[in-house]
């Protein structure tokens, strides 16, 4: 089950859907492009099997922390082209 909350970061408002597995999706409500936002997967960790190939290790469970969501939003905002309102690149 997911929970939706609003986050205000650096004067910008996002609707954030928080999943129990640590994933979250953000929609930029105050941005210039309706419906624009980003999603994040649960933090990944990898281990080596037999010293050869990477294999998924145990992933953290539980909801994303407010700090992790806020940091993700700040990273997203820092990548935005102010002229277009979309991620540069």
Residue 83 forms part of a structural domain: no
Please tell me the distance from the alpha carbon of residue 80 to that of residue 16, in angstroms, as a whole number. Answer: 18
Q: Which of 44, 10, 14, 9 is nearest to 28 (CA)?
A: 14
Q: Is residue 36 part of a domain?
A: yes
59-89 residue pLDDT tens: 445 668 899 999 999 999 999 999 999 998 7
**Number of domains present in the structure of the chain:** 1
Tell whether 65 is covered by a domain: yes
Q: 25 is in which domain, residue-wise?
A: 3-78
Give the CA distances from residue 72 to residues 40, 47, 54, in Å, rounded to whole numbers and listed in that order.
Answer: 8, 24, 25
How many residues would you count in the chain?
89
As a whole number of angstroms, the distance between CA 87 and CA 31 comes to: 12
What are the pLDDT digits (tens) for 19-34? 888 899 999 999 999 9
15 lies in some domain: yes
């Amino acid at each position: 089950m997911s929970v939706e909350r609003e986050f205000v970061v650096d004067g910008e408002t996002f609707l954030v859907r928080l999943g129990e597995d640590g994933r979250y999706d953000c929609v930029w409500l105050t941005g210039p492009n309706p419906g624009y936002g980003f999603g994040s997967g649960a933090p990944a960790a990898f281990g080596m099997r037999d010293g050869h190939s990477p294999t998924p290790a145990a992933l953290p469970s539980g909801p994303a922390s407010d700090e992790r969501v806020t940091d993700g939003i700040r990273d997203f905002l820092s990548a935005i082209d102010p002229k277009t309102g979309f991620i540069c690149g």
